[in-house]
Amino acid sequence: MPNKTKDSELQGLGRLITEATVGIIELVEAMHNRIIYPPFLPSTPVQHLVSKIAGTTYKNIKLGTQFIGSGADKALGKLAPLLGKIKTAEKREMLLSVLNGVIGDYLKNKDNPLAIPMQFRHRSKTLLLKRKSLEKNFPVINGKILLMVHGSCMNDIQWSQKDHNHGMALAKDLEMSPIYLYYNSGLHISTNGQIFSELLEELVLNWPSPIEELIIVAHSMGGLVSRSAIYYGEQLQKTWPKHLKKIVFLGTPHHGARLERMGNYLNIILEHIPYTKPFARLGKIRSAGVTDLRYGNLVDQDWQGIDRFQLQGDQRQNVPLPENIECFSIAGNYGKKEDASSKYLGDRLVSVKSALGIHKNPAKHLNFKKKNTWIAYENSHMDLLSNSKVYAQIKEWLI
């Protein structure tokens, strides 16, 4: 019997390859035109003739690619049974997560089956948010829920690093039920935040026993998605925020990530140099989720009506930490504690100041309690998921 999931994913990949090929052809065509018509020089009849012939050729190539792609979409579906014999589910999901992180908004807008729908998972399987289904997945159930939220380009499986999983270890030590969020990290953070809030409400209302406490542990972008969910949950007076007692942020770019700001600067430079302008469109494949990381956008107003690829300052709405929820934050630092210059390093992706919510503008400063922050020296962004000292600090906070 054909595997419908692999069938649709393979067809989605075929469509994506077709669209990417057309995009590359358009990039080459733009470069061709830039060479035929040098900047700041008048054009000639010969140039117009060459351009017309080339334009017709490029058009025919694009039409041919799209026609072949539509046929491949059907043909690839027949290969699904063969893919079912390849046991690489973990690698397949890892690649799918990266793809969604980079162009997830594009996949969603095109209704491509490769787009990941947000869901709660347990032991890498989707949870149905119905009482009987939850009872089946958690036979020994209580009112304590531990929710793990992954970062950009990642998935729930990747909480397992170096034979350790913060979620499974905490669930065992604290006698909690572990649930993992799985989502398309290429969508706007505020979009994911609102969907997350709705799912949490459904989970809380269908949980088989009275809820005593809900705890969130979030890594990287997952912390921003969680803060966005809390904001919208409180704004819409949902039930679930009343159960949320604590949230731990691991390497969360509360005030953005420097790499995305650098990517934006590079894109602006490419657009303003005549011969490199066609390449600027490559920078614009970055997903909405990635560009939201520039400053740490949380709500719709942070991006609506704004060209996210234009050079601009931090225009975010001020969203403070929730008042009735105890918030903790761990910042990774690749340097050594005794090295005075290490305080500027961060974890290679997120600066210490951003991870601890420190901002030069007092209105944006998050004001974590000092006892609720900790710097993990000699740790990279990914080390935060497996380091034993990081785990010990999280456990100490949550007991």
Task: Single out the residue in 67, 86, 105 at which a domain terminates.
Answer: 86
CA-derived radius of gyration, the chain: 24
Residue type at 305? G
Specify if 101 maps to a domain. Answer: no
Judge if 123 and 81 occupy the same domain.
no
Three-state SS at 185: coil
Domain encompassing residue 242: 119-256+317-398
Task: Single out the residue in 38, 71, 86 at which a domain terminates.
Answer: 86
Judge if 75 and 134 occupy the same domain.
no
Question: How many domains does one find in the chain?
Answer: 2
Give phi and psi for 180, each to the nearest 5. -115, 135
- CB within 8 Å of 12: residues ≥ 6 apart: 107, 112, 113, 114, 115
pLDDT of residue 20: 47
Judge if 166 and 54 occupy the same domain.
no
User: Which alpha helices (H) appear in 110-235, and where do they start and end?
Assistant: 131-137, 166-174, 189-206, 221-235
Give the CA distances from residue 116 to residues 96, 107, 182, 260, in Å, rounded to whole numbers and listed in that order: 8, 9, 8, 23
Judge if 212 and 347 occupy the same domain.
yes
Judge if 80 and 126 occupy the same domain.
no
* CATH classification of the domain holding 353: 3.40.50.1820
pLDDT in tens, the chain (399 residues): 445 555 555 455 445 444 444 444 454 455 445 444 455 445 555 445 445 544 554 454 344 434 433 443 444 344 344 434 445 678 778 878 888 888 899 889 988 888 999 999 999 999 999 999 999 999 888 999 999 999 998 999 999 999 999 999 999 999 999 999 999 999 999 999 999 999 999 999 999 999 999 999 999 999 999 999 999 999 999 999 999 999 999 999 999 988 776 665 555 555 655 545 555 555 677 889 989 999 999 999 999 998 887 877 888 999 999 999 999 999 999 999 877 666 667 998 899 999 999 999 999 999 999 999 999 999 999 999 999 999 999 999 999
Cβ(366)–Cβ(254) below 8 Å: yes
